[in-house]
């Protein structure tokens, strides 16, 4: 991959990562609930899903999914159902007790749980497969060895997404952290992010 082509890929990855979606919502929700540093685990899970998407497309399986309405819709409905589940789960969280500076009632979510949720949030999006199917060929030269190009593509895509998710979306949640100190604030944040998850699920179902 030439340097010029790589810079084009870098710019495209920045635009894609900066576009808000389920991954960004999940990242901000994690940052508010668990803090900026621990939000990385959810981001890590999302990147594992991106790697799987890239591997699927590179192996030719993505074309099968894109051309099969049945497979596409199965993944689409599973993805929407999972996002609705996450949204409803947030809406039903109890936020009765206020948090004082001298107490810490919050039980931290395990890193594995955050990785797992981030993975499924990104993986169960069939449109990501279709997107990579249309996006990747523009940066892969058929007259050059494929593996090094796919490695550069994957490293660039994942690297940019980590920087954007952790450096922008997770950091953007910090000013709202103070709201987590009161029951009303936590209720508001849970409602907002719960509805956002459900809204993204609706977009996944109804926008073709």
Report the percentage of the chain scoring pLDDT > 70: 92
For 19, the 3-state DSSP assignment is coil
CB 5 within 8 A of CB 124: no
User: How far from chain centre, in Å, is Cα 32?
Assistant: 16
Which of 66-75, 100-109, 183-192 has the weakest average pLDDT? 100-109
What is the arithmetic mean of pLDDT over 39-65? 89
Q: Is the pLDDT of residue 104 over 70?
A: no
63 vs 195, higher pLDDT: 195
Question: What is the pLDDT, as a whole number, of residue 80?
Answer: 85
Q: Is the pLDDT of residue 204 over 80?
A: no
Question: What is the pLDDT, as a whole number, of residue 208?
Answer: 54
- Tokens 């940019």 locate to 160
Quote the CA–CA distance of 124 and 57 in Å, as a whole number. 15
Nearest by Cα to 22 from 101, 144, 104, 120? 120
CA end-to-end span of the chain:
32
Q: Quickly count: other Cβ atoms within 10 Å of residue 125's Cβ.
A: 25
Over residues 112-148, the pLDDT tens digits come to 999 999 999 999 887 788 788 888 888 888 788 888 9
CA distances from 163 to 36, 64, 77 (A): 13, 31, 30
Question: What is the pLDDT, as a whole number, of residue 92?
Answer: 85
CB 97 within 8 A of CB 183: yes
pLDDT band at 96 (very low <50, low <70, confident <90, very high): low
């Amino acid at each position: 991959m030439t340097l010029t082509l790589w810079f084009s890929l870098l710019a495209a990855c920045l635009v894609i990562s900066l576009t808000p979606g389920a991954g960004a919502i999940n990242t901000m929700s994690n940052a508010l609930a668990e803090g900026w540093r621990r939000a990385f685990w959810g981001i890590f899970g999302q990147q594992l899903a991106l790697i799987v998407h890239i591997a699927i497309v590179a192996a030719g399986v993505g074309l099968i999914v894109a051309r099969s309405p049945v497979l596409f819709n199965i993944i689409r409905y599973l993805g929407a159902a999972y996002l609705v589940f996450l949204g409803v789960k947030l809406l039903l969280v109890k936020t009765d007790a206020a948090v004082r500076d001298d107490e810490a009632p919050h039980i931290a979510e395990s890193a594995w749980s955050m990785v797992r949720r981030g993975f499924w949030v990104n993986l169960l999006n069939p449109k990501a497969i279709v997107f990579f199917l249309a996006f990747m060929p523009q940066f892969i030269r058929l007259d050059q060895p494929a593996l090094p190009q796919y490695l550069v593509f994957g490293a660039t895509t994942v690297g940019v997404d980590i920087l954007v998710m952790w450096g922008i979306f997770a950091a953007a949640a910090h000013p709202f952290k103070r709201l987590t100190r009161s029951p009303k604030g936590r209720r508001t944040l849970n409602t907002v992010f719960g509805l956002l998850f459900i809204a993204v699920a609706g977009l996944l179902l109804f926008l073709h």
